[in-house]
Structure 1
Amino acid sequence: MAQNPSAKSVPRPPTLAERHSGIPERLASIAQEAKEKLYSKKTLPESVPRLREVPRLPPDTTRESFDRAIVELRDSLGAENVVLNDKPLEDGWYIEHPNTHDAFHIVDQEELVCSAVVYPESTAEVQSIVKWANKHMIPIYPISMGRNVGYGGSAPRVPGSVVIDLGKRMNKILKIDAENASCVVEPGVSYFALYEEIQRRKLPLWIDTPDLGGGSVLGNATDRGVGYTPYGDHFANHCGMEVVLPNGELLRTGMGAMPGKNGADNPTWQSFQPAYGPYSDGIFSQSNFGIVCQMGFWLMPETGHQSYMITFPHDNDFANIVEIIRPLAQQRILGNIPQLRHVIQELSVTGLPKSHWFPGPGRVPRDVVRKHASSLPCGDCAWVFYGTQYGDPASIKTQLDMIKSAFSKIHGSRFFLPSDLPPDHYIHSRAAVCSGVPVLRELDWLNWVPNAAHLFFSPITPTRGEDAKIVHDINVRLHKKYGFDLFPTLCVAGREMHYIANIIYDRSSQDEKRRATALMRDLITEAAKEGYGEYRTHLLFADQVAGTYNWNNNALMRFNETLKDALDPNGILAPGRNGIWPKNFRGKGWQLMGAEVENAVGGGAITPKL
């Protein structure tokens, strides 16, 4: 097996000035260090010979008809903008990720691959691609930037689909309205790019960013991702969309449906979300009902802020912590969407591998975690709470006094400000993210195992200790059963919590992949039995998760299928995304409801035998 390259041989990551998906110059050295760390633990080769047909054909398509269709598409868009997926597959890493497959592949690397990648430059070109797909009955799979890591990346659910990479050439910040505190962006605008442009213009505005800043602002919102300022619900803070429907028609939602004066955009398009009539924006999130080519967002006026950390000594403090958070969040005393993490993540975010802390096989024992935590700034604790307050110094002090008083009810809790902790401590990264500054620090936990990849298990619970404990106990038991360390992060609001368990596995190990897949499948099943469902999942588990939302004889899925069939009668747009299959795919074995994913690890196929 090929060995990892030396640190000196690792090429530097591209910057924003060189590539739309690059990093700001201010983070160049940090990105280089992160890349070298990841590559130093890599044992997989950059690529291996492909064993299947190249390029992979779409379903029910002959080689001759596919070749003719590609010639036609190249004539329309330019040969350089239609690229066949016939090269070796390289997983890359976060900054230099593939758009041909899932870099964190669970099943065989060649299984979830596209036949070609197309790069439109405009909404009009997206329309022409959609019309081409309908003409040739070839499925298409749009991506914004392809950094949906942990959920499937750039991989199309139907192998052989043509990926529409919207990011490479549609990466313009179309508008920033300082007075309205809003912007309009195309799919290829990353959090890095939007932040840097606002800084360049010296505007007193914040963006809201997830833990990593390289993803698409538009793409994350359409997948209902979250951040950590008061504007942390990204879809709730969008305002207005331009959408290409599956028949190639163009739609603007909200106030954008009313033409502005003399052909200009409606001046209230980024000011008011619903407009008149049914509020349609929601059907274009986590769906395959249209391709969002522009989206407006509200930006947060800059303000004073203070981040902090609170530690709690015992594992069984968990339910009490949640009970204390709920009224603080409901009364808007908590300033942001805080995180509650288990202390094992204080070890992982150092960037040091699991073997540094525990050289033995299997999970890191709890007593070993406690021992190492006692030598870290957090001390010997079980849970770590990261929060941020906003406003003027006097209001922040009042808020913090109330928060300290509430959490002091848990004996042994300790309060820290960033100034109390070393410069390299994780709190400084959280402080940046919680003040709208995109960072790279979250890459460090990928050093936990060699060739690290991950899956997210992401159920929603009410913000109640008893509910949170049920889901947490399921995670504890099943992670132990399948031999994985449990990394829980809870993003807590006043009425609901995102419980996000990060399953980290070595993608060179078929055994770890099978166990991770079985763990994921059992987590979905057992949480659903208790009434808790995921808000987002990996594309290979979409059918299973969608199947858990089956109240009243699957009324929700029947409704989604009715919309799908009306909007996309040819079934060409992202079939199977989030479990929504068009009529020409239904009943033909495409759904993955049982152990099909687990059984496909190591070279098996997930596609039906047609």
Structure 2
Amino acid sequence: MSDRDTFTQPSFFGSTSTPLKARPLVLPPNVTREDFGTFLREIIDLVGNGNVEIITSEDQIDDRSYMNPAHTHDPHHVMEQDYFLASAVVAPRNVADVQAIVRLANTLSFPLWPISIGRNSGYGGAAPRVSGSIVLNMGKNMNKILEVNVEGAYCLVEPGVTFQDMHDYLVANNLRDKLWIDVPDLGGGSILGNTTERGVGYTPYGDHWMMHSGLEVVLPNGELLRTGMGALPDPKRPDTMGMKPEDQPWNKAAQLFPYGFGPYVDGIFSQSNLGIVTKMGMWLMPNPGGYQSYMITLPKEDDLKQAVDVIRPLRLGMALQNVPTIRHILLDAAVMGSKAHYSSKSEPLSDEDLDAIAEKLNLGRWNFYGALYGPKPIRDVLWDTIKGAFSTIPGVKFYFPEDTPEDSVLRIRDKTMQGIPTYDELKWIDWLPNGAHLFFSPIAKVAGEDAMAQYAVTKRRCQEVGLDFIGTFTVGMREMLGTLGADHIVCIVFNKKDPLQKKKAHWLIKTLIDDCAANGWGEYRTHLAVMDQIMGTYNWNNGAFLKFNELIKNAVDPNGIIAPGKSGVWPRQYSKVTHKL
């Protein structure tokens, strides 16, 4: 190691510097290795060696797994494996650590990329948009369930609390008969992280952002903010005097009423780079007193149009109580086995192939999954209504879980739609060898014509590039998420060890963004590699939306330290041309 690999210059942060021998594989723009070494020494002195990993070797760039996620890069890399790469991963121990790190970062304008768990699968994982950023692993140490309030039906959590953790807590404390947590397709994600990314689940509480109440946020200057009713102090008592702000009790209404007084600022901390969320209140679903899941199979591809038109009045009228899904046959087939299990073809499967798979699995070309909630008399009335409406579609069939095999997708969804975390949906990623995926999430109105148009566009582009269409539509109250895959998003499955397939997947998602924008369908969430492109489609009135976001970013974070480039919003210090993909 040369002399320049040992950092010995005096610290300009205030403590005595110790030589730090480290040569990160990548540094952020305008940061020297000497400054990096001094900065990391300060952080190590703050949080301890065990909470800092400097990325100095390619051996550390390991894709790992969903249950043991990589924090250095995107494990589903559609570009080069190390294209989005951290210089170091730091795990703060508490809110005070986060504040101290943020203040240190301001001295160098050093970019930080906060994550909760690192399981943002299909969107970039834990990888930073600007290579060389320090990934702040908020969930490693800050993983406490701070409160579960049965009477108010809410919880207060730190970033590291997963959906599985909350479910386990409810079961262990004999609260499952009183409260449920709404879960997404996979149970290992952070409640806080998923919610601030505006993820969804499948019970009546499926819109997670709608169900949050109260945030605690470290701002880019290191100051601590509580939103909504949390901005009103709890009446001072002797036992709170002298306590740190982050340890002080919340106002008793903070998790009950999200809006507080004045401008509602919570939204600027979702999918944003304006602060680091350290605590969040979340509403839990009271046990509805009864539950029944079901599946309705639709035999023909074109049945999608009529099905969506049947669904719309049922969803608006709340006969469909939860967030239902219409899944393409290959999504369910991929959960049950790899492509090689069904066919020896390398090209996209034909309609005849799909019909054969549907017959083999006793499924339709589209399969609708929903659930009924409440006492049996209520469920019976709702079921008669739903069954009658769907019976207008020729050839539909109706199933309850006990009518299907033990390993059926309905058995999996039966758990998901009652707030029980599962991990079985991971299996569809193995549709191809070395399976990886991208999610693509266009919004459309709940109308059969729109669904068929969106399906036609995406299917045609998949076939054009030589990849199978794997899709689902997730139905909200008035909107529909069109998705090529699970997790209420469009999933593009590819072999990450095949450079050509990676290029195809990247071309496909970029092309679909433009195709959908031309039809008025914008994406609600996306992968790192296309954030700028999608923000560019939200360009009404000469890009007023982005300009406003940039105005806020530069005012609140003048040194551009929090997640530069997140959601296509860049601080003034960064050249969009330089970072354009």
Return the TM-score normalized by structure 1. 0.87
Alignment correspondent of 1:25: none
Which one-letter code corresponds to 2:70 in the other structure? P
Q: What's the offset of the Cα at 1:124?
A: 1.1
Q: Secondary structure at the match of 1:374?
A: helix
The aligned runs of 1:269-288 (5 Å cut-off) are 269-288=254-273
2:477 to 488, 494, 499: 494
Alignment of 1:74-153 (within 5 A): 74-87=44-57, 88=59, 89-153=61-125
Q: State the match for 1:67 in structure 2.
A: 37
Deviations 1:534-592 (A, max 9, x none): 00010110000000000001010001001000000001110000100001113442133
State the match for 2:13 in structure 1.
none
Q: For residue 299 of structure 2, what is the amino acid of its counterpart?
A: P
Q: Distance in 1 between matches of 2:477 and 2:44?
A: 51
CA distance in 2, matches of 1:134, 1:386: 49
Q: Secondary structure at the match of 1:192?
A: helix
Matched, 1:205 2:179: yes
Work out which of the residue numbers 556, 564, 578 in structure 2 matches 1:575. Answer: 564
What letter matches 1:71 in structure 2? R
Q: Which amino acid aligns with 2:253?
A: T
> What is the Cα-based RMSD across aligned positions, in Å?
1.2
CA distances 1:218-241 after superposition (whole Å, capped 9, x unpaired): 000000000000000000000000
State the distance in 2 between where 1:106 and 1:488 align: 19
- What corresponds to 1:243 in structure 2? 217
Aligned mates of 1:419, 1:536 — CA distance in 2: 36
Measure the CA separation in 1 of the matches of 2:393 and 2:329: 17
The C-alpha deviation readout for 1:129-169, integer Å capped at 9, x for no partner, is 10011012210000000100100001000000001000100
Of 295, 299, 313, 2:280 maps to 295
Q: Does residue 518 of the first structure (1) align with residue 507 of the second (2)?
A: yes
Deviation at 1:82, TM superposition (A): 2.0
Distance 2:47 2:327 in 1: 48
Determine if contact 1:461/1:497 at 8 Å carries over to the other structure.
Answer: yes
Give the one of 542, 545, 549 matched to 2:538.
Answer: 549
Structure 1 match to 2:251: 266
Query: Hey, what's the Cα distance between the residues in 2 that align with 1:67 and 1:416?
Result: 61
In the alignment, structure 1 residue 354 sits paired with structure 2 residue 362 = no
Give the corresponding residue for 1:373: 358
Aligned partners of 1:345 and 1:68: how far apart in 2? Answer: 49
CA distance in 1, matches of 2:454, 2:480: 11
**Structure 2: gaps (5+ residues):** 1-22, 241-248, 485-490
- CA-CA distance at 1:377 after TM superposition: 2.8
Aligned-pair CA distance for 1:471: 1.3
| Map 1:140-539 → 2, pairs under 5 A | 140-203=112-175, 204-262=178-236, 263=240, 264-303=249-288, 304-350=290-336, 352-378=337-363, 381-501=364-484, 502-539=491-528
Task: Confirm or deny: 8 A CA contact 2:157 2:279 kept in the other structure.
Answer: yes
Q: For structure 1, which segment, 232-241 or 341-350, has the greater mean C-alpha deviation from structure 2 after superposition?
A: 341-350
User: Alpha-carbon deviation of 1:79?
Assistant: 2.4
Structure 2 equivalent of residue 58 of structure 1: 28
Q: Shift of residue 314 of structure 1? A: 1.1
Q: CA deviation at 1:450?
A: 1.1
Report the equivalent of 2:245.
none
In 1, distance between residues paired with 2:529 and 2:389? 42
More displaced, 463-472 or 129-138?
A: 463-472
The one-letter amino acid of 1:120's match is: P
Say which SS state the counterpart of residue 552 (structure 1) adopts: helix
Secondary structure of 2:187's match?
Answer: coil
Instruction: Check conservation: 1:461, 1:496, Cα contact below 8 A.
Output: yes
String of CA shifts for 1:229-266, please: whole Å, max 9, x gaps: 00000000000000001111110000000000124320
In the alignment, structure 1 residue 585 sits paired with structure 2 residue 574: yes
Further displaced range: 434-443 or 355-364: 355-364
The C-alpha deviation readout for 1:248-296, integer Å capped at 9, x for no partner, is 1110000000000124320001000101001110010000011000000
Aligned equivalents of 2:126 and 2:405: distance in 1? Answer: 37
Q: Percent of aligned pairs with the same residue?
A: 46
**Distance (whole Å) between structure 2 residues aligned to residue 556 and residue 375 of structure 1:** 49
Whole-angstrom distance in 2 between the partners of 1:449 and 1:587? 35
Maintained 8 Å contact 2:24/2:55: yes
Task: Report the Cα distance in structure 1 between the residues aligned to 2:42 and 2:279, rounded to whole angstroms.
Answer: 26
CA distance in structure 1 between the partners assigned to 2:98 and 2:45 by the alignment: 15
Aligned equivalent of 1:558: 547
Q: TM-score, normalised by structure 2?
A: 0.91
Q: Which AA in structure 2 matches 1:559?
A: F
8 Å contact from structure 2 (residues 570, 576) kept in 1: no
- How far 1:55 moved relative to its partner? 3.0
Contact (CA 8 Å) 1:346, 1:373: kept in 2 or not? no
Q: Using the alignment, how far apart are the partners of 1:132 and 1:83 within structure 2?
A: 18
State whether residues 97 and 146 of structure 1, in contact with CA within 8 Å, keep that contact through their aligned partners in structure 2. Answer: yes
Once the 2 structures are TM-superposed, how far is the Cα of residue 449 of structure 1 from its aligned partner?
0.9
Number of equivalences: 538
The residue identity in structure 2 corresponding to 1:168 is K
Measure the CA separation in 2 of the matches of 1:193 and 1:433: 15
* Equivalent residue number for residue 32 of structure 1: none
The residue identity in structure 2 corresponding to 1:542 is M
Q: Partner letter of residue 144 of structure 2?
A: K
Aligned equivalents of 1:424 and 1:488: distance in 2?
Answer: 20
Q: Distance in 1 between matches of 2:123 and 2:360?
A: 34
- Structure 1 residues not aligned, in runs of 5+: 1-52, 593-610
Provide the residue aligned with 1:600 in structure 2: none
Distance in 2 between residues matched to 1:110 and 1:307, nearest whole Å: 43
Alpha-carbon distance between aligned partners in 2 of 1:360 and 1:323, rounded to the nearest angstrom: 35
Contact 2:213–2:256 (CA<8 Å) still a contact in 1? yes
Greater shift in the superposed pair: 311-320 or 393-402: 311-320
1-side partners of 2:368 and 2:407: how far apart? 18
Residue aligned with 2:360, SS: coil
Q: Distance in 2 between matches of 1:146 and 1:584?
A: 27
DSSP 3-state at the match of 1:189: coil
> What secondary structure is seen at the aligned counterpart in 2 of 1:296?
strand
Deviations 1:403-450 (A, max 9, x none): 010011111111111111111111011010000000011011122111
User: 1:463·1:496 contact (CA, 8 Å) conserved in 2?
Assistant: yes
**What are the superposed Cα offsets for residues 293-318 of structure 1, whole Å, 9 maximum, x if unpaired?**
00000000112110000011111111
User: Retained in 2: the 8 A contact 1:208–1:232?
Assistant: yes
SS in 2 for 1:174: strand
Is the Cα contact below 8 Å between 2:416 and 2:422 reproduced in 1? yes
Select between 69-78 and 434-443 the one with higher mean Cα deviation. Answer: 69-78
